């Protein structure tokens, strides 16, 4: 039975953040979702990649029905309406492989060439492997995706001017506020994206404050960056002190709500406040943006900033595409060989005893196996030729080489 390698999901190109956040998965979510999804009939291998810009499933399935069952079950487990599926994409075969290679290489990122995706891709695979959701195909796909990513980074200049979403968030703050040297900035969250943002902010001499649910983590980051710490439980009380609030946490709920900001802006006598929410799901209530002198930007708003410095990286992206398709060709060749491996094993097993006593048959087996490996698509025809050659051998006719038979077929 032919198995289909596929990629399905939503990303910043297919769905707005309010839809992506419904499917967004934390590390714990991945551990919860993958085991039941892997047990769906017809699903052979599976991994789940969830970042601020995408939630995508890569896998191997027996047929389209199995993939459809997988998608419906994912929506059920996440408690999402099936109609949101219209914002998703589906790819199979070499197009799916090319997509995975592009994602791992940063060619599909909002900020083309950013390399943060590599670590996210590694983590997604690591969880899937730990849960026994990967096998021969996805293990190979992962290995080749990382090889492709490395080639794109080293053989093109795409990473030279590449910036992360965290950097774009800070660029947006500069655009709105001008110089950040006098700005008081509050970083809510101390994860990887927040830490990157904090480092950029510090270079711009912003007055940096950090708050996090885990106080010790906020203290650790503030010591590293020379910032100040605000206790998380005091966020509402001191929110009015800050000009820019950059939010990046893994919370499933709003951390900053309408009431909290309404109170803060009044305390500031309506001096402008800027909120940049790079969390998915969003951590700042979208209603906050309706308040006077409050400006709210989410992850999708960063795309415009990212596109301004895109021209040079787009030229390098074309070079990256050549590398991607070179690697896709190699992977699909391997997939073809994988499909005919059973044929080769069957031939060797079935004719083992004859091979031992008949040198002519042994030569035929060697020839047909070599030809199948060279041209997997011709496996069925080559087997028929092989059987005819064996029949001819048994009737005492002179034995031609298998490839001569192929040429004349």
- The length of the chain, given as a count of residues: 409
User: How is the chain split among helix, strand and coil, in percent rounded to 5?
Assistant: 60, 15, 25
Q: Is 52 a catalytic residue?
A: yes
Task: Give dist(CA 278, CA 56) in Å, integer.
Answer: 19
Does residue 142 sit in helix, strand or coil? Answer: helix
Q: Are 363 and 399 contacting, i.e. CB atoms less than 8 angstroms apart?
A: yes
Give 5: exposed, middle or buried? Use CB within 10 Å, 0-12, 13-18, 19+. Answer: buried
What the block records as the tokens of 27 is: 């590390």
Task: Give dist(CA 242, CA 239) in Å, integer.
Answer: 6
Apex 21 CA angle, 139 and 63, nearest 5: 40
What the block records as the tokens of 330 is: 């190699």
Taking alpha carbons only, the member of 323, 329, 324 closest to residue 101 is 324
Among the listed residues 25, 33, 49, 52, the single catalytic one is 52
Task: Give dist(CA 244, CA 177) in Å, integer.
Answer: 9
What is the sign, positive or negative, of the torsion defined by CA atoms of 156, 160, 161, 166? Answer: positive
Q: Which residue has the tokens 């991994």?
A: 47
Taking alpha carbons only, the member of 57, 35, 40 closest to residue 48 is 57
What is the sign, positive or negative, of the torsion defined by CA atoms of 81, 85, 88, 92? Answer: positive
| DSSP for 378-407, written as a single string | GHHHHHHHHHHHHHHHHTT-----HHHHHH
Q: Which residue has the tokens 């951390």?
A: 255
What the block records as the tokens of 398 is: 């002179």
Phi/psi for 108 (5° steps) reads: -105, 5
> CB neighbours of 370 closer than 8 A, spacing ≥ 6?
none
Q: Are 385 and 391 contacting, i.e. CB atoms less than 8 angstroms apart?
A: no
Residues 107-145 as b/e (b if ≥16 CB within 10 A, e otherwise) read: bbbbbbbbbbbbebbeebbebbeebebbeebbeebbebb
Catalytic positions: 52
């Amino acid at each position: 039975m032919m198995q289909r390698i596929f990629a399905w999901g939503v990303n910043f190109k297919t769905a707005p953040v309010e839809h992506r956040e419904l499917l967004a998965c934390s590390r714990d979510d991945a551990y919860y979702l993958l085991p039941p999804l892997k047990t769906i009939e017809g699903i052979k291998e599976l991994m789940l990649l969830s970042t601020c810009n995408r939630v995508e499933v890569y896998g191997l399935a027996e047929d389209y029905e199995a993939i459809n069952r997988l998608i419906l079950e994912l929506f059920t487990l996440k408690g999402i309406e099936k109609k949101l599926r219209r914002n998703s994409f589906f790819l199979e075969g070499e197009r799916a492989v090319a997509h995975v290679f592009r994602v791992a290489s940063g060619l599909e990122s909002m900020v083309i060439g950013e390399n943060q995706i590599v670590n996210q891709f590694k983590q997604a695979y690591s969880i899937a492997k730990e849960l026994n959701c990967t096998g021969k195909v996805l293990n190979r796909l992962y290995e080749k995706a990382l090889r492709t990513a490395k080639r794109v980074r080293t053989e093109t200049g795409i990473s030279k001017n590449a910036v992360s979403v965290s950097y774009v968030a800070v660029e947006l703050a500069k655009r709105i506020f001008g110089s950040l040297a006098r700005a008081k900035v509050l970083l809510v969250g101390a994860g990887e994206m927040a830490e990157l943002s904090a480092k950029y902010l510090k270079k711009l001499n912003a007055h940096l404050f950090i708050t996090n649910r885990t106080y010790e983590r906020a203290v650790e980051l503030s010591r590293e960056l020379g910032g100040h710490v605000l206790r998380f439980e005091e966020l509402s009380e001191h929110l009015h002190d800050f000009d820019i609030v950059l939010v990046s946490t893994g919370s499933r709920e709003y951390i900053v709500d309408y009431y909290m900001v309404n109170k803060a802006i009044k305390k500031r006598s309506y001096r402008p406040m800027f909120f940049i929410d790079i969390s998915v799901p969003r951590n700042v209530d979208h209603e906050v943006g309706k308040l006077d002198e409050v400006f709210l930007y989410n992850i999708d708003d960063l795309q415009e900033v990212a596109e301004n410095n895109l021209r040079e990286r787009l030229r390098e992206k074309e070079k990256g595409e050549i590398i991607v398709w070179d690697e896709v060709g190699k992977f699909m060749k391997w997939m073809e060989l994988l499909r005919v491996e059973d044929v080769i094993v069957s031939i060797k097993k079935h004719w083992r005893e004859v091979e031992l006593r008949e040198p002519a048959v042994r030569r035929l087996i060697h020839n047909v196996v070599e030809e199948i490996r060279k041209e997997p698509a011709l496996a069925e025809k080559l087997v028929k030729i092989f059987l005819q050659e064996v029949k001819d051998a048994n009737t005492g006719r002179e034995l031609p080489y298998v490839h001569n038979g192929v040429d004349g077929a």
